[in-house]
Amino acid sequence: MHHDQPNNPLHGIKLETIVIELEEYFGWEGLAERVPVNCFKNDPSVKSSLKFLRKTPWAREKVEALYVATFCRENPWKTS
């Protein structure tokens, strides 16, 4: 069953895409500064990060919040 979620900025975006785009934007070091977890600090990779984030809800929430703050700044009241 497919449910539309028009108010969810992460709807339809895979966790893998989130990690890849954040890593490309901040680099592993910058990502580790913003979300200080070992999967970003010690021998980081997309695969190890995904494994950790899928098992650790609080870390996933921080990564998702960082993604939204970085890439999803659409303001419906903006007039330009």
How far, in Å, CA of 10 to CA of 44, rounded?
Answer: 23
Enter the pTM of the model: 0.80
Phi/psi class of residue 74: alpha, beta or left (left: φ > 0; alpha: ψ in -120 to 50)? Answer: beta
Model pLDDT for residues 34-79, shown as the tens digit of each residue: 999 999 999 999 999 999 999 999 999 999 999 988 887 665 555 5
Domains by residue range for the chain, with CATH: 15-71 (1.10.720.30)
